[in-house]
Every structure is written in C-alpha cells, then in structure tokens.
C-alpha cells in the first residue's frame, strides 16, 4: 500500500470514531491469526493423511490406498475415489450431502480450499485482473495517515 491513490479520505471521522474502527480492525487481525492457526492445523492433518497413504497404487492392488486394509474380491472390494481415482475402502471415504463421496484426503483438500477461500480467490483472479488489496488494509492506512490539517 504505497500509493496514496489507494487511501480513502476519512478526515470527516471524529477521533473516537477512528478509535472504534481501529478497535474493530485490531479484532479482525486477531481473528485472522486464529483462523490462520486453524488452517495450519488442517494443512498438517492433510500432510499427515497424504503421508500415511502411499499415494502409489497399482491397478491390481487389492489394498485400500489410505489405511492399507485388504480388500475383498466380492464383498468390501473398495471403490475408486471420484476425485483422485485411487481405490479406498468404505472407512476411508467421506459422503457428501448429495450422496457422492470422496476419499478422506480429497475431502480434506476440498475442505481446506473452502476454509481458506482459495476457490474464491482463484475465481476472482480469473475474472478480475487487479492487485489483491484487502479493504481492511486500505481503511487502516487511511485512518493512520496524518491529515493535512493536523
């Protein structure tokens, strides 16, 4: 945020209003840190799940790729994940609301994309070719900027 053109003229705000807004921005920053911690934990869980599963499965393999449980020929044969096509047992899948399912690793990847908003930012980048500047940063810099009259 080095450009003054990105700042908003907030000189009409009273000092106590500016302080209240800065308090809200401080709370927002705290909540972002908490959310970042939760996202890091989810990423670690995902890495652990990927590590546990070999991620290499031969076509003739009769073993669940995630828990390494032996699969049967007729019953409990396992099915390929609809997202990654790796064969998983019934215990290593997550069923969605519409009845479709994904393996636990693909479900965690999807959950991570939702929680982080990654899917939104990817779509936004496809549609709009602007620099990602957060509104909170613009407001904070605008309030903290010295007014010409002060």
Q: Is residue 150 part of a domain?
A: no
Q: Is residue 1 part of a domain?
A: no
Q: Spell out a b/e string for 31-69, using b for 16 or more CB atoms within 10 Å of the CB, else e.
A: eeeeeeeeeeebeeebeebeeebeeebeeeeebbbbeeb
Q: What is the pLDDT of residue 146?
A: 62
Q: What is the pLDDT of residue 55?
A: 54
Domain that holds residue 109: 13-144
Q: Spell out a b/e string for 85-99, using b for 16 or more CB atoms within 10 Å of the CB, else e.
A: ebbbbeebbeeeeee
Q: Is residue 65 part of a domain?
A: yes
Q: Is residue 136 part of a domain?
A: yes
Query: What are the φ and ψ backbone dihedral angles of 122, each rounded to 5 degrees?
Result: -65, -45
Q: Is residue 134 part of a domain?
A: yes
Q: Is residue 135 part of a domain?
A: yes
Q: Is residue 6 part of a domain?
A: no
Q: Is residue 36 part of a domain?
A: yes
User: Tell me: the pLDDT tens digits for 57-96?
Assistant: 555 578 888 888 888 888 888 889 988 888 889 899 999 8
The count of domains in the chain is: 1
Bridge partners (DSSP) of residue 77 are: none
- CATH number at 97 reads 3.30.40.10
CA dist 150 and 134 (Å) reads 27
User: Tell me: the pLDDT tens digits for 98-121?
Assistant: 989 999 999 988 888 888 888 887
Confidence of residue 2 (pLDDT cuts 50, 70, 90): very low
What's the pTM value of the predicted model, to 2 decimals?
Answer: 0.59
């Amino acid at each position: 945020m080095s450009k003054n053109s990105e700042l908003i003229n907030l000189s009409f705000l009273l000092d106590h209003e500016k302080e209240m807004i800065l308090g809200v921005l401080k709370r927002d920053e705290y909540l972002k840190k908490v959310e970042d911690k939760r996202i890091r934990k989810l990423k670690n869980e995902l890495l652990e799940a990927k590590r546990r599963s070999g991620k290499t499965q031969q076509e003739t393999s009769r073993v669940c790729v995630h828990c390494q449980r032996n699969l049967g020929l007729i019953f409990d044969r396992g099915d390929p994940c609809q997202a990654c096509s790796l064969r998983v047992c019934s215990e290593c899948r997550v069923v969605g609301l519409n009845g479709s399912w994904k393996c636990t690793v693909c479900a965690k990847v999807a959950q991570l994309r939702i929680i982080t908003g990654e899917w939104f930012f990817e779509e936004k980048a496809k549609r709009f070719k602007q620099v990602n500047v957060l509104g909170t940063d613009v407001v904070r810099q605008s309030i903290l900027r010295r007014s010409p009259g002060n």
